[in-house]
Structure 1
């Protein structure tokens, strides 16, 4: 893991398309601004993990999805 020190209004560049900027510091919280292309999803880690879990569950239940789609057609 790369660990960098940044101050307020300083940034980190990832590749050519992603910039992470320190936009605020309040107590023990740091506010980040993230500039990235629209085709790149940016999520908090806990949200990302929840999406991954839901995707795994959906893959494990393909029959439920097919039944739901078939019920809508009728």
Structure 2
């Protein structure tokens, strides 16, 4: 990690097209101005961490969630009169055509 001392108004150049300027220094923090191309994403680290944590929580499924999803599965549609019923699978779960 590079550690630099900068005063208000001084700049730091990253690569060829990113400029960080010290705007204000307070007792509780520093205000920085960042001039970067639109395609360069600039985010606060704590916001990215919060988004990552929320995404992990959103995809986690517990047993009650799995049970609720299983209840949403529709039962097989009944066949029309005159059409043969689908063949039942044996105890192995394999349909007759695949045995």
Q: TM-score range by the shorter chain?
A: 0.5 to 0.7
- Find the residue that maps to 2:31 and give its secondary structure: strand
**Correspondence 1:27-66 to 2 at 5 A:** 27-56=27-56, 60=59
Question: Runs of 5+ in structure 1 lacking a partner?
Answer: 62-74
Q: Structure 1 residues 38, 55: CA separation in 2 closer, same or farther (over 3 Å shift)?
A: farther
* Aligned position for 2:15: 15
* CA–CA separation in structure 2 for the residues paired with 1:2 and 1:38: 25
Q: Distance in 2 between matches of 1:51 and 1:36?
A: 23
Per-residue deviation, 1:57: 5.6
TM-score normalised by structure 2 residue count: 0.52
The structure with the largest helix share of the pair is 1
> Structure 1 length normalisation: TM-score?
0.67
Q: CA–CA distance in 2 between the matches of 1:17 and 1:56?
A: 34
* Structure 2: segments with no counterpart, 5+ residues: 61-99
Q: Which has the higher strand share?
A: 1
Q: Highest CA radius of gyration, 1 or 2?
A: 2
Question: Any idea what the Cα deviations from partners look like across 1:8-62, whole Å, max 9, x if unmatched?
Answer: 000110001111110011223110000111111111110122233345566x57x
